[in-house]
Structure 1
Amino acid sequence: MLEDMFLEENSEFVRKVFLESRSLVEALILLKVWARQRRTVYTHDCINGYLLSVLVACLTAQSAGNIVSKSMTARQIFRVIIKYIGTSNAWEKGLFLHPPRQYNISKEDVNQQKKFPILLFDVSGHLNLMFRMTRAAFLELKDEAVSTLNCLEKHKDDGFEEIFMTKVDFASKFDSCLRINMKENSRVLGLGFCMDEERWRVCERDIHLLLSQGLTDRSKLVRVVWRNSPSNWNIHDGFMKFGEEPVLVGVLLSSQEKSFRIVDIGPSAENKDEVIKFRKFWGEKAELRRFKDGNIAESTVWECDPWERHAIIKRIVEYVLHRHFKLASQDLFHSVDQLDFCLHLNGKDPVSHSGKLMEAFETLSKRLRLLDDIPLKVSTVQPLDPAFRHASVFPPLPHPLVHEKLSIKSTESIALTCIPSMDVLIQLEGSGNWPLDPVAIERTKSAFLLRIGKSLEERWGMICTASEEEVNVHTSGFSFSLKILHERALSTLTSLAMSGKGKSIHPSIDKELFMKSQHSSMINGLHGRFPMYGSVVRLAKRWVSAHLFSSYFAEEVIELVVAHLFLRHFPFHAPCSRITGFLRFLRLLANFDWAYSPLVVDINNDLTSEDEKDIYENFLSCRKMEEKNEGEMDVAMYIATSYDKQSQAWTKFSPSKLVLKRIASYARSSADLLTGIITDGAPNEYTWECVFRTPLTNYDAVILLHPNKLPQPQHLLFPSQQPKGKLVTWGKPSKDFNCYLPLKGGTKSLMEARDKILVNFDPTRYFLRDLQSEFHDTFKLWYDKIGGDAIGITWEKNNSKKRRRDEEEEIKMDPLGILEEVGQIGKGFVKSVHLLKAPKLGQNGRFPK
């Protein structure tokens, strides 16, 4: 009633203030845009445009000390208001539109208002305009303001995108999102309707208090929002549908170490009153324990495997709500681990074997350094494979046939025929005797590697295999591929990279090894700072491959894009959950302005302001070259790092502009789907899976492969269904290759089985190589290198630059004949080939060449 009584007077006061200054109006617009982008604070219990107007007017008035000066620019006013929201305690004591003495308000009247978290009195002096704001909402508002201040200080004038253009919603902001159905809850129904506080608000407060108490310091912020009226509500429908919307709960985690710990320590056994409270809250989960320091205290224990710890928050929240709100399991939906299925093998995450992998590498590294019968001693051993930096979707598992001593467990009856070999970089002692000719250098390296392999076999019994391309060492169930970067190339590469002239490095093999070495070192340091990084990268890589983009995106590109999310995370906090990080990855791919902005990834703060200036100049130069080349981009995806300022390492040739546009479209669709599932629920039980399902109808033709001929058939996520289209050809599986080897026991049979192992053999990759060699101008190939059984084909379109003006460029083409030949090239490996769309005809009625 008071709000309605003084509505006109309050509006008139605000109007007069803003009439006096144009900069105030512009600053208010900035504030409203800032608040609207943060949908979790622009709500019924927090802030809105009107309250922001009142706040700016109040801080401009003399009663608040003229904090805002009318001579300030709009950006200065915005900064002052944001700083005031984030750091000032004055409005918790009380703000007045007019000096308090004009109201004749007693201290007792003011103290009665202290039940509200903040006080902003209107022109009458009797109404607190912020009476709807809750304590939880106020804390979130302050957190957002502090985060914005940090962004302004860190990025100077370059934080516009993060502050005003990035959407901050429940799904992308909070590490853990929970949806609760309260429609038939007895505790809520018992509150009734006729109360000073609506029952929805009481329920919000109770859930917030319970979860804050249950999570303790595991969370930085708990936010509970219940929209009491349906989003499509019509006043003629009455109030019968009120309360049908779910309660949304967002949890912002404090840190990996705190949030995912197994044990919570409660009060000491001697503190009887606190023990009673603790046991009343936790019930049967409370137990008395003696700890290592001798302390005896109450505790709760959430035992789980290390790779399941990210779900501990889910277990705690669900237990607390089951116990205190009597909620059934079907009334709770917590988005935490629903995407784990695409990273698991037989229901378990293979990262659980990472310890064995690191032990095997340490053993190999130690033995390489101890070798003393080679001309130059090994000085440095560096792992290059993504598995060593926790960035491999499926890190290799120990293989039973690549141990020094063969012994097969009785439970193992088969083993994989193909095993991956992980790259390991070796640097030798300095020497001036290296040849200068590039071919001679590579042959010298091969000779060194063969000698090293022979020494490892003779001295420690390791298994070594050699080919023209690589030398592999098998030990402790794993295979390692040895590479050498000699010291002369290393010094040349380092100086060229530091000077920004890395594109002229020769030979290319050394350049690639050097770039991989630099990248691996950089990412390894990142994982130590952000332990959740590895899980998000794995999900991102799985998604890119599942949608058949493996041909166009190097793994290092995905790792750098995800790294950017953690390093430059504004307006968010760095993600502490894999689903939230993955959603931000999708949105970054979809929304980043790749055509007009470089993605600068500075992991160790190595880039100076001069370096960043050079990066932007190089980027602009690259785009100017594109204009001269009639729209053909030299580097469509420009990613700059301290070791690669000109984006030459991973994106120089791929992806193209069209491929980048395609993946951005896929990312936008997946992000929208994922957001809807988190906040609104899944329309059916397969919706989470749809994030990783790619529609085969988006291709002109599809090749299906025999699943039992894939090198890693256990990685297949979803067996592909036969697409709707014309079946061109089909074939039976070959008997020459089987993805599994039978293990019957006995040393002789095991040795025979080991001789049949294929290292780094991938029939899909060789099949694609043959197709690209034969049809490089005819179509593009799309595939999943992690574990797909389908290959997409899109007919190649000639670029205007490459197209001749002569009509001889257009020739007759038989798409069915081409696809039949594709099936013949992959005979024994290809299951079927399907034509979905024929190529478009040219101007003369013929198919483009």
Structure 2
Amino acid sequence: MQQGLTDRTKMIRVLWRSTPSEWNIMDGFSEFGSSPLIVGVMLSLLEKSYSLVDIGPNPENRDEAIKFRKFWGEKAELRRFKDGAIAESTVWETETWERHTIIKRIADYVLSKHLLLRQEDLTHVVDQLDFCLLVGGQDPVSSSGALLEAFDTLAKQLRLLDDVPLKISTVQPLDSAFRHTSVFPPEPHPLAYEKSSQRLPNFAATCVRSLEVMIQLEGSGNWPLDPVAMEKTKSAFLLRIGESLEDRGMFVTASEDEVNVLTSGYSFLLKIFHERGLVVQKQAGDSNIQSAPSEDKELFFRSQHSSMINGLHGIYQAYGPVVRLAKRWISAHLFSSFISEEAVELVAAYLFLRPFPFHAPSSRVTGFLRFLRLLSSFDWTFSPMIVDINNDFNLKDEKEINENFMLSRRSYEQNPHDIEPAMFLATSYDKSSEAWTKQSPSKSVLKRIASYAKSSAELLTNLIIHGQSGQYTWECLYRTPLSNYDAVILLHKEKLCRPHHVLFPAEIPNGKLVIQGKPSNDFHPYMPLSKSVVRSLHDTRDKLLVNFDPTAYFLRDLKCAFPVTFKLWHDSIGGDAIGLTWESSKKRGRDEDDEAMLDPTSILKEVGDERTPG
């Protein structure tokens, strides 16, 4: 293993876990056949570990070249490199998104060739969780290069606009797809190209997800101070920017609420950030970020977070895959309503920044296991989680964070069930945990998340050590029991905006069927295209639904109709089930008495009668 993996690893350790107590050395190794031999591999820098080529000796060094060819056999080949050097080498060609399996391929080859082991005798813990990140057998992260190119094209066009009253100075992407932490980064849509494009596919997805982009304009003293007037001014600027881009051949959908630009296969949602929006002055010299308009404050937090996470990804290449697995797990267990993806990214960042007593994880499975353990064991009630990515904090900062944390916990003795925020995440841009966890998760929800994480960590540990056996498989980590909810809404899979993202179709749980609705004909996730029906590409684009998700609108309607009746649990990535848990009547106000008196069956019938597409 050491000879085959060379400098790809820092350390290799071989261990036979259970030597029989009655074993006698004179019996040889026959007694070890029933006990697995475990090989632990610690990777070096991922650039080395996932390299496609191993460079051996120069053929002029005859003795070393013979040894190299004897060891590698048919895998050895003589290659000329870009610098003109000629050397013996081995090549492990693979797709970019599969490079984390190169160590596995090398180990398989070496052990099979030199120890005559069969493939079925070797089990590698490396890619067993990849199934939850694939679409059509491929990881969509492979198209991230096209996404970044599309953004660069848009950013260049925005900076070159000369017919907008104020020049655009900064263009920053905010979506998680740009920082390599989106579970399913969007793939190029065949209808999201410039007007000059005449690409007409046989079919296309009806919905296209827009990626948020933040714009900053050059300074001006003419901005209004009134928050409402400021937002109206931003809308006017965005509409003017949209018109300018449309004049330059891009496809733009615009309204007073949002401006979306479709170019290079992607849709971008433009947002304007103005620093003055962060400070609404109550009196001269009084600046307070707490009173800022919600959109500017959110854009500020998101821009700071994106910059910080991008820096972390540059240091730890395993970080992105670990976060994607973590987000998929959060969604698969229907926690999407209660914990933001930014919060998940920060929790994962913590385990990379403070891995003691281990090294920072270099593999996705190891990192995911540590994420589950951290989520389940961290003392959220009495400890803030301080995520210091750039080593920005000094003693004064840590004191301020701890004071903010203690302030949030003052009510604990009077009301242990009402701690806000229950999950305290402190960063350089948010020392009071206001950005991502101020409202959610609650203490009860966080307790439930921790319980699920503990159970999943135990299962994953068992799978790593003992392998897959019986009904407990790697897939079980992403299957959630629907019996843990008071009621379940099953959605029509064929009416979801991205049905191909559903990991496991929900099984109908045992219980009373209250209502069974028929799917609406108003929406279909795919639109068939025929040149005999569709006369032009423009007509087809008009059928696109930008940023539309029927499940999200259904959830919004339910929250409005039943604000205190129950909690809604759902999977925002690829779920076809919504869980409902009744809220305690103690939490309801007296004005909700009529609603509380309703029969649960009647309430559920009203839920089923909510009319939304799908």
Report TM bin, short chain.
over 0.9
- CA distance, structure 2, for counterparts of residue 503 and residue 650 of structure 1: 15
Q: Go from structure 1 to structure 2 and tell me whether the alpha carbon gap of 1:571 and 1:228 turns closer, same or farther (over 3 Å shift).
A: closer
Residue type of the alignment partner of 1:216: T
Residue type of the alignment partner of 1:301: V
- 1:79-118 matches, within 5 Å, as none
**1:334 lines up with 2:120 in the alignment:** no
**Greater helix share, structure number:** 1
**1:267 lines up with 2:267 in the alignment:** no
- CA distance, structure 2, for counterparts of residue 232 and residue 750 of structure 1: 77
Quote how far apart the aligned CAs of 1:231 are. 9.4
Quote how far apart the aligned CAs of 1:808 are. 6.9
Residue type of the alignment partner of 1:770: D
Secondary structure, aligned partner of 1:280: helix
Q: Go from structure 1 to structure 2 and tell me whether the alpha carbon gap of 1:743 and 1:245 turns closer, same or farther (over 3 Å shift).
A: same
Secondary structure, aligned partner of 1:624: coil
- 1:552-631 matches, within 5 Å, as 552-629=338-415, 631=417
Question: Could you report, residue by residue, the CA deviation over 1:560-610 in whole angstroms, capped at 9, with x for unpaired residues?
Answer: 011111111111111111111111111100111101110000111111111
- CA distance, structure 1, for counterparts of residue 123 and residue 286 of structure 2: 51
- CA distance, structure 2, for counterparts of residue 402 and residue 807 of structure 1: 47
- 1:646-795 matches, within 5 Å, as 646-684=432-470, 687-745=473-531, 748-795=535-582
Residue type of the alignment partner of 1:818: I
- CA distance, structure 1, for counterparts of residue 440 and residue 33 of structure 2: 51
Look at both structures and tell me which one has the larger radius of gyration over its CA atoms: 1
- 1:306-455 matches, within 5 Å, as 306-405=96-195, 412-455=201-244
Secondary structure, aligned partner of 1:327: coil
- CA distance, structure 1, for counterparts of residue 592 and residue 497 of structure 2: 45
- CA distance, structure 2, for counterparts of residue 733 and residue 229 of structure 1: 60
Task: Kindly indicate whether the alpha-carbon contact (under 8 Å) linking 1:408 and 1:745 is maintained by their aligned counterparts in 2.
Answer: no
Which has the larger displacement, 338-347 or 629-638?
629-638
- CA distance, structure 1, for counterparts of residue 592 and residue 241 of structure 2: 59
Secondary structure, aligned partner of 1:220: strand
Quote how far apart the aligned CAs of 1:502 are. 6.1
Task: Kindly indicate whether the alpha-carbon contact (under 8 Å) linking 2:78 and 2:88 is maintained by their aligned counterparts in 1.
Answer: yes
Q: Go from structure 1 to structure 2 and tell me whether the alpha carbon gap of 1:630 and 1:602 turns closer, same or farther (over 3 Å shift).
A: closer
- CA distance, structure 2, for counterparts of residue 244 and residue 293 of structure 1: 50
- 1:528-547 matches, within 5 Å, as 528-547=314-333
Residue type of the alignment partner of 1:314: K
Quote how far apart the aligned CAs of 1:751 are. 2.7
- CA distance, structure 2, for counterparts of residue 287 and residue 299 of structure 1: 5
Question: Could you report, residue by residue, the CA deviation over 1:162-183 in whole angstroms, capped at 9, with x for unpaired residues?
Answer: xxxxxxxxxxxxxxxxxxxxxx
Quote how far apart the aligned CAs of 1:817 are. 1.0
Task: Kindly indicate whether the alpha-carbon contact (under 8 Å) linking 1:744 and 1:750 is maintained by their aligned counterparts in 2.
Answer: no
Residue type of the alignment partner of 2:476: C
Q: Go from structure 1 to structure 2 and tell me whether the alpha carbon gap of 1:327 and 1:642 turns closer, same or farther (over 3 Å shift).
A: same
Secondary structure, aligned partner of 2:513: strand
Secondary structure, aligned partner of 2:34: coil
Q: Go from structure 1 to structure 2 and tell me whether the alpha carbon gap of 1:621 and 1:371 turns closer, same or farther (over 3 Å shift).
A: same
Secondary structure, aligned partner of 2:409: helix
Residue type of the alignment partner of 1:390: H
Q: Go from structure 1 to structure 2 and tell me whether the alpha carbon gap of 1:269 and 1:729 turns closer, same or farther (over 3 Å shift).
A: same
Residue type of the alignment partner of 1:222: I
Question: Which residue number in structure 1 is paired with residue 334 of structure 2?
Answer: 548
> Aligned residues: percent identity?
65
Question: Could you report, residue by residue, the CA deviation over 1:224-253 in whole angstroms, capped at 9, with x for unpaired residues?
Answer: 1013436999xxxxx986541101111000
Task: Kindly indicate whether the alpha-carbon contact (under 8 Å) linking 1:781 and 1:794 is maintained by their aligned counterparts in 2.
Answer: yes
Question: Could you report, residue by residue, the CA deviation over 1:272-293 in whole angstroms, capped at 9, with x for unpaired residues?
Answer: 1111211111111111111222
Question: Which residue number in structure 1 is paired with residue 253 of structure 2?
Answer: 465
Residue type of the alignment partner of 2:230: I
Please list every run of 5 or more consecutive structure 1 residues that lacks an aligned counterpart in the other structure: 1-210, 234-238, 830-849
Residue type of the alignment partner of 1:627: E
Residue type of the alignment partner of 2:500: Q
- CA distance, structure 1, for counterparts of residue 21 and residue 611 of structure 2: 54
Secondary structure, aligned partner of 1:465: strand
Task: Kindly indicate whether the alpha-carbon contact (under 8 Å) linking 1:493 and 1:514 is maintained by their aligned counterparts in 2.
Answer: no
- CA distance, structure 2, for counterparts of residue 796 and residue 500 of structure 1: 41
Question: Which residue number in structure 2 is paired with residue 838 of structure 1?
Answer: none
Question: Which residue number in structure 1 is paired with residue 9 of structure 2?
Answer: 219
Residue type of the alignment partner of 1:754: R
Quote how far apart the aligned CAs of 1:407 are. 5.5
Question: Which residue number in structure 2 is paired with residue 513 of structure 1?
Answer: 299
Q: Go from structure 1 to structure 2 and tell me whether the alpha carbon gap of 1:640 and 1:501 turns closer, same or farther (over 3 Å shift).
A: farther
Secondary structure, aligned partner of 2:241: helix
Quote how far apart the aligned CAs of 1:511 are. 0.6
- CA distance, structure 2, for counterparts of residue 704 and residue 232 of structure 1: 56
Quote how far apart the aligned CAs of 1:307 are. 0.9
Q: Go from structure 1 to structure 2 and tell me whether the alpha carbon gap of 1:569 and 1:694 turns closer, same or farther (over 3 Å shift).
A: same
- CA distance, structure 2, for counterparts of residue 663 and residue 826 of structure 1: 31
Question: Could you report, residue by residue, the CA deviation over 1:287-307 in whole angstroms, capped at 9, with x for unpaired residues?
Answer: 111122222211110001111
TM-score w.r.t. the length of structure 1 is: 0.69
Task: Kindly indicate whether the alpha-carbon contact (under 8 Å) linking 1:587 and 1:667 is maintained by their aligned counterparts in 2.
Answer: yes
Q: Go from structure 1 to structure 2 and tell me whether the alpha carbon gap of 1:810 and 1:386 turns closer, same or farther (over 3 Å shift).
A: closer
Secondary structure, aligned partner of 1:730: coil
Secondary structure, aligned partner of 1:464: strand
Q: Go from structure 1 to structure 2 and tell me whether the alpha carbon gap of 1:549 and 1:232 turns closer, same or farther (over 3 Å shift).
A: farther
Question: Could you report, residue by residue, the CA deviation over 1:720-770 in whole angstroms, capped at 9, with x for unpaired residues?
Answer: 111111111111111111110112247724332211110000111111111
Q: Go from structure 1 to structure 2 and tell me whether the alpha carbon gap of 1:514 and 1:626 turns closer, same or farther (over 3 Å shift).
A: same
Secondary structure, aligned partner of 1:333: coil
Task: Kindly indicate whether the alpha-carbon contact (under 8 Å) linking 1:230 and 1:244 is maintained by their aligned counterparts in 2.
Answer: no
Secondary structure, aligned partner of 1:691: helix
Question: Which residue number in structure 1 is paired with residue 48 of structure 2?
Answer: 258
Quote how far apart the aligned CAs of 1:538 are. 0.7
Quote how far apart the aligned CAs of 1:630 are. 5.2
Secondary structure, aligned partner of 2:455: helix
- CA distance, structure 2, for counterparts of residue 805 and residue 400 of structure 1: 54
Residue type of the alignment partner of 1:478: Y
Residue type of the alignment partner of 1:752: D
Please list every run of 5 or more consecutive structure 2 residues that lacks an aligned counterpart in the other structure: 24-28
Task: Kindly indicate whether the alpha-carbon contact (under 8 Å) linking 2:227 and 2:293 is maintained by their aligned counterparts in 1.
Answer: yes
Task: Kindly indicate whether the alpha-carbon contact (under 8 Å) linking 2:479 and 2:504 is maintained by their aligned counterparts in 1.
Answer: yes
Task: Kindly indicate whether the alpha-carbon contact (under 8 Å) linking 1:429 and 1:487 is maintained by their aligned counterparts in 2.
Answer: no
